[in-house]
Amino acid sequence: MKSLARKLRHQSTDAERMLWKYLRAHRMAGYKFKRQVVIEPYIVDFICLEARLIVEADGGQHLEQVEDDIQRSVFLESLGYKVVRFWNHEILCDTHSVLERIHSYLIEPPSPQPSPGGRGGKA
């Protein structure tokens, strides 16, 4: 899987290269993103571990694999990640809006987690 991820990094789509230009080197609100990261059994396009955010850039082939993408997102979200998807044409033609949406997910306050006691009171 790691060699495939390395190959994908070298064969990025135009949309992935465009997005990476804005996500790399802590350029997005100071958050660190990595690209083509293995989370068995998948390889995710972009991930911010600190914010537990995965960003996927989807091309036309994803029109034919909707169910697979849903299963993939459900699995990744079960691990505690937020998965957001953008069509390649969105990234290329409306980059500013895509970046604003990614930024909003980064600064969005986390969902309240239930306390270990279950009711939020003292034990």
Sorted by where each begins, the domain ranges of the chain are: 2-107
Q: What angle do CA 80, 90, 10 make, to 5 degrees?
A: 70
Phi and psi at residue 3, to the nearest 5°:
-70, -35
Q: How confident is the model at residue 64 (pLDDT cuts 50, 70, 90)?
A: low
Distance CA(116)–CA(63), nearest Å, equals 41
Range picked from 34-43, 62-71, 104-113 for highest mean pLDDT: 34-43
Which has more pLDDT, 113 or 85? 85
Compute and round to an integer the Cα radius of gyration of the chain: 16
Would you call the peptide bond into 41 cis, given omega within 30 degrees of 0 as the criterion? yes
Q: How far is CA 30 from CA 48, 53, 81, in A?
A: 11, 14, 19
Class in CATH terms, 2-107: alpha beta
- Please provide residue 43's backbone torsions phi and psi, each rounded to the nearest 5 degrees: -120, 120
> What number is the average pLDDT over the span 10-18?
88
